[in-house]
């Protein structure tokens, strides 16, 4: 397997976002790991970027009876597609540590793929 490296975290995000936009979906930032060393000021050590449809809406928000407005459409379906990037402490470059390409939903039709927006 080829090792993908990036000069910084934003470049890794931009690459994955563009790659997945061509596949037919958008990306958002998820969990992040920070350094706990004294003097490191909580620098990022790793971050996970996920399909924007990952996760589920909390059940307490689905079945609320005291709503003042109609609920928004449910867009999350528990998709597992994600990428985890990690920093190489010796070089300062970011590399792909984990890549999962498994979607459990339909992709955006090819004619609409140029309309995907960045979601953070």
| Residue spans per domain, the chain | 5-58+74-115
Element (H, E) at 12: helix 9-23
pTM value is: 0.68
Dihedral, 18, 24, 28, 32 alpha carbons, nearest 10: -70
Element (H, E) at 31: strand 27-34
Residue 85 tokens, joined: 């990037």
Rounded CA separation 95/85 (Å) = 5
Tens of pLDDT, residues 14-45:
998 888 887 777 888 988 888 887 666 778 89
Tens of pLDDT, residues 37-70:
766 677 889 999 988 777 777 776 666 777 777 6
Contact 62, 70 (CB under 8 A): no
**What pLDDT is stored for residue 113 in this prediction?**
47
Q: Which spans in 24-112 are helix H?
A: 59-62
């Amino acid at each position: 397997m080829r090792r993908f490296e990036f000069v910084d975290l934003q470049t890794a995000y931009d690459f994955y976002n563009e790659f997945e936009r061509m596949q037919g979906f958008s990306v958002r930032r998820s969990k992040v790991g920070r350094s706990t060393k004294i003097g490191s000021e909580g620098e990022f050590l790793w971050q996970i970027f996920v399909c924007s449809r990952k996760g589920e809406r909390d059940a307490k928000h689905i079945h609320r009876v005291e709503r003042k407005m109609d609920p928004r459409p449910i867009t999350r379906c528990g998709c597992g597609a994600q990428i985890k990037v990690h920093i190489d402490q010796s070089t300062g470059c970011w590399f792909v540590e984990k890549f999962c390409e498994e979607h459990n939903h339909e992709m955006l039709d090819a004619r609409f793929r140029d309309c995907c927006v960045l979601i953070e």
